[in-house]
Amino acid sequence: MTHFRHAAIAAALLAGVGSASAQTTVITREPVETQTVVTTQPLALTPVQRRTIYRTIVREPVRAVPPTVEYRVGTRVPEGVRLYGVPQEVAVEVPAIRSYKYMHVNSHVVLVDPVTSEVVADFDD
């Protein structure tokens, strides 16, 4: 009888080892985040809206940006550049620019998308 008990224990141990080696461990990884690039349509403004924006914003007491870099529509503004919110007076007359920021460079007003830091419009007299 002891012999049978030892055989049963040995069989159980062997069965446990077999099932343990048959187990599979699956390691999953979180998907790698991809950078989302948002492209927007060019800012379509009438000549009257452009004049209103320029004339109103030029009167705002802000520090002008030194003209060390040429800012064109589509280029990105460096991180250290101070941007200002669009004045309420302009946002009421031209709601399309409400979410943008601006800066003065030379005699230009440059509108910037604050999410992408991309120049979306450039106004001069």
pLDDT higher at 15 or 124: 124
Model confidence pLDDT, tens digit, residues 5-39: 655 565 555 555 554 445 555 565 555 444 434 44
Model confidence pLDDT, tens digit, residues 60-97: 777 777 667 778 888 898 888 889 999 898 888 888 88
- pLDDT, residue 82, reads 87
SS3 for 76? strand
Q: Residue range 91-112: average pLDDT? A: 88
Q: Structural domain tally of the chain?
A: 1
- pLDDT, residue 80, reads 82
Query: Are 60 and 84 within 8 A, CB to CB?
Result: yes
The answer to whether position 90 is within a domain reads: yes
The answer to whether position 92 is within a domain reads: yes
- pLDDT, residue 39, reads 45
Query: Are 76 and 113 within 8 A, CB to CB?
Result: no
Domain of 103? Answer: 47-123
The answer to whether position 7 is within a domain reads: no
Q: How far is CA 100 from the centre of its chain?
A: 14
Instruction: With CA atoms as reference, report the closest residue to 72 among 123, 125, 122.
Output: 122
The answer to whether position 26 is within a domain reads: no
Write the CATH number for 82.
Answer: 3.10.450
- pLDDT, residue 42, reads 63
Beta bridge partners of 19: none
SS3 for 122? strand
pTM of the model: 0.60
The answer to whether position 14 is within a domain reads: no
The answer to whether position 58 is within a domain reads: yes
The answer to whether position 95 is within a domain reads: yes
The answer to whether position 12 is within a domain reads: no
- pLDDT, residue 101, reads 93
- pLDDT, residue 61, reads 77
